[in-house]
Structure 1
Amino acid sequence: MKTKFTLLASVAMASSALFATQAVADGHSKDIATVVKIAGIQWFNRMEEGVKKFAEETGMNAFQVGPAQADPQQQVALIEDMIAQGVDALAVVPMSPEALEPVLGRAMEAGITVITHEAAAQQNTTYDLEAFVNEDFGANLMEQLATCMGGEGEYAVFVGSLTSQTHNQWVDGAIAYQEANYPNMTLVGDKNETFDDAEQAYTKTQEVLRAFPNIKGMQGSASTDVAGIGRAIEERGMEDATCVFGTSLPSIAGQYLETGAVDGIGFWDPAVAGEAMNKLAVMVMNGEEVTDGMDLGLPGYESVSLDGKVIYGQAWVNVDAENMSEYPF
């Protein structure tokens, strides 16, 4: 796996270098603003590494900004500011796709290329990039949760936001998979909203444990969910009595994977997603066609699927205590 990743990374670097040569030679260096859901959390810190790498390798003025809180209106204000600054392209990870439709529409009317991520139903976008089919990823997490739970018992689900499209697709895909394959499992309560905040996830988990003392499983969506869940599980000494899976990174959930408070995580590399969004933005600005089966020269995006204006990769990985050292981020 490491050898393959290294080879693909080398191909990606060569591709980016060619990109840079063409862009600089043609005098086409562009301003590309990546606008994320929230600044300062590990997930988007990792994405910023990819954005900076793209800028260094291509000569583009690619940079990342995000609101201080997971608030759609703060994200709207940032995008308005980017429009006023006259950026050439926006790469946006929407907190609420619906809330961003008007401002992204204004950006496109101003001639700004818009690439979104985690927003497959976004209307005002040139292309939306998805690391994978979201419902399939949710089903993948549920299969692991169900196996850990022995195919029976109560479980709860968590989302960063009730308006986050991808989080809801993951959870809905998981629930549908459970209902079709594990009828002896029971979803308890509603979707628990955590606002991409580990402290909120911790508080919600305490509420869930009080309301459903026999609960056996929990599935998180925001990268910070399982950290908050794991902390609550660890404090109660319930590591052996519960199963916890969700989307996260080793840098966020690693300590709980080690103790067994969290059993497994799934993710895609946000740094590669950041690179891919910026690369797509430049391709669009250069008039290049995006086609089904195209190789973007990045790991997990070697043969993308195109469905309308949604681009799907195959970029998820499953990680537990045994293999998390292979992913040092």
Structure 2
Amino acid sequence: MKKILSVLLACSMLAGILSGCSSGSKETKAETKAETTAETTAASAGETTGKTESDEKYTVAIVVKIMGIAWYDRMQVGIDQFVEDTGMDVYITGADTADPAEQVAVIEDLIAQGVDAMVVIPNSTEAVETVLQKARDKGIVVVTHEATDVKNADYDLEAFNNAEYGQHLMELLAEMMDGEGEYTTFLGALTATSHNEWIDAEVALQEEKYPDMSVVSSKNETTEDSEVAYQKTQEILRTYPNVKGFLGSAMADVPGVARAIEEQGLEDSTYVVGTCLVSTAEQYLESGAIDKITFWDPADAGYALAELCVKVLNGEEISDGVSLTPDGYQNLTVNGNIINGSAWIDVDKDNMGDYDF
């Protein structure tokens, strides 16, 4: 009996010990779980509280007029720099031709992909209006460039006031021509808003200030193709043998004009001015077939356009005096949804070495 009682007492004590251990284990696990949950919640709350809108990583697509030309190759340099500086997902895309319908198709694809924002440089503002509205209806931020008549965009960012730029080009040409003689104008597309605005301003200033000059065969459409510009220049020289001034708007215009000028040995008796880059115009600046080019740095424009998109996505105020990073885009003028900088550059044979792009 004593043995039985001893065994029962030992079992009772062991059960108590085991019960206590089990109870302690459960309490420890519960406390650990609570502490972990509290730490996770606090960390999560801290992350949320500390996180700013600039921490977001956005996808921004830059839809250019036509892929594969030097202008947008240079713009890619600015986009690459912006990506390096910010970590954003920004890239250039577009069609292989300047056909507005193909550009619309590119934009439709981006809407389907659900990008956060897009920049569109339209071949035809009218052609893209409907699809831009569709993008905005989907919550996509839309910024345009070279499209001051756009209606369905959050903002249109211009390197400068287009009328002032056109007037500047005319002043350059008029000085070379001593304010007299025939001249002609070229543009990439009859539907290109900026090109039309430049030419309208050029002709208006000429008629007001230089009555001894006259425009012939104005607004020759080159479809952003230097071969077309070359052929049209040949036709103009045959039809208007006294023409001596040529104003180009698209990147491809003045190189095509210069090629025709050079072939006929007219470098010394004609004056060619227009928007282009040194990388494309260099040989003709050297020969004198092109007298002066003007441009805004596409790399700076690309950076500024991407930066503007991010500001809009972050809900920042866009008003007079707002500044972006690149030169010429500080203290911007905002009029409605049109934003103007002051970023044009004049280049001739003497200073083209300063702009090796």
Q: Are 2:184 and 1:159 aligned? A: no
Q: Which residue of 2 aligns with 1:208?
A: 236
* Equivalent position SS for 1:115: strand
* Equivalent position SS for 1:258: helix
Unaligned runs of 5+ in 2: 1-50
Q: Please, which of 289, 292, 304 is the counterpart of residue 276 of structure 1?
A: 304
Task: Give, in angstroms, the shift of residue 247 of structure 1.
Answer: 0.5
Task: Give, in angstroms, the shift of residue 294 of structure 1.
Answer: 1.8
* Equivalent position SS for 1:216: strand
Q: Which residue of 2 aligns with 1:93?
A: 121
* Equivalent position SS for 1:245: strand
Structure number, greater radius of gyration: 2
Report the CA distance shift for 1:133/1:25 in structure 2 as closer, same or farther (over 3 A). closer
Task: Give, in angstroms, the shift of residue 297 of structure 1.
Answer: 2.2
Q: CA contact under 8 A between 1:155 and 1:218: conserved in structure 2?
A: yes
Matches of 1:91 and 1:55 in 2, distance apart?
A: 15
Q: Which residue of 1 aligns with 2:164?
A: 136
1:19-58 equivalences under 5 Å are 26=55, 28-58=56-86
Matches of 1:25 and 1:125 in 2, distance apart?
A: 22
Matches of 2:250 and 2:234 in 1, distance apart?
A: 17
Q: Please, which of 87, 99, 104 is the counterpart of residue 59 of structure 1?
A: 87
Q: CA contact under 8 A between 1:24 and 1:59: conserved in structure 2?
A: no
Matches of 1:190 and 1:132 in 2, distance apart?
A: 23
Report the CA distance shift for 1:301/1:25 in structure 2 as closer, same or farther (over 3 A). closer
* Equivalent position SS for 2:119: strand
Matches of 2:260 and 2:206 in 1, distance apart?
A: 25
Matches of 2:218 and 2:203 in 1, distance apart?
A: 12
RMSD over equivalenced CA pairs, Å: 1.3
Task: Give, in angstroms, the shift of residue 319 of structure 1.
Answer: 0.7
Q: Are 2:293 and 1:294 aligned? A: no
Q: CA contact under 8 A between 1:23 and 1:29: conserved in structure 2?
A: no
Q: CA contact under 8 A between 1:33 and 1:90: conserved in structure 2?
A: yes
Task: Give, in angstroms, the shift of residue 190 of structure 1.
Answer: 3.2
Q: Which residue of 2 aligns with 1:108?
A: 136
- Matched letter for residue 176 of structure 2: C
Q: CA contact under 8 A between 1:160 and 1:195: conserved in structure 2?
A: yes
Matches of 1:322 and 1:196 in 2, distance apart?
A: 27
Matches of 2:122 and 2:217 in 1, distance apart?
A: 26
Task: Give, in angstroms, the shift of residue 56 of structure 1.
Answer: 1.6
Equivalent residues, number: 308
Q: Are 2:261 and 1:236 aligned? A: no
1:112-127 equivalences under 5 Å are 112-127=140-155
Task: Give, in angstroms, the shift of residue 25 of structure 1.
Answer: 7.2
Unaligned runs of 5+ in 1: 1-21
Matches of 1:168 and 1:120 in 2, distance apart?
A: 11
Q: Which residue of 2 aligns with 1:75?
A: 103
Q: Please, which of 157, 163, 173 is the counterpart of residue 201 of structure 2?
A: 173
* Equivalent position SS for 2:107: helix
Task: Give, in angstroms, the shift of residue 23 of structure 1.
Answer: 6.9
Runs of 4+ displaced beyond 6 Å: 22-25
Matches of 1:180 and 1:221 in 2, distance apart?
A: 21
Task: Give, in angstroms, the shift of residue 104 of structure 1.
Answer: 0.4
Matches of 2:132 and 2:84 in 1, distance apart?
A: 27
TM-score (norm 1): 0.92
Instruction: Name the one with the larger helix percent.
Output: 2
Matches of 2:183 and 2:131 in 1, distance apart?
A: 38
Matches of 1:265 and 1:129 in 2, distance apart?
A: 22
Q: Which residue of 1 aligns with 2:347?
A: 319
- Matched letter for residue 263 of structure 2: E
- Matched letter for residue 286 of structure 2: E
Matches of 2:53 and 2:285 in 1, distance apart?
A: 45
Matches of 1:127 and 1:183 in 2, distance apart?
A: 38
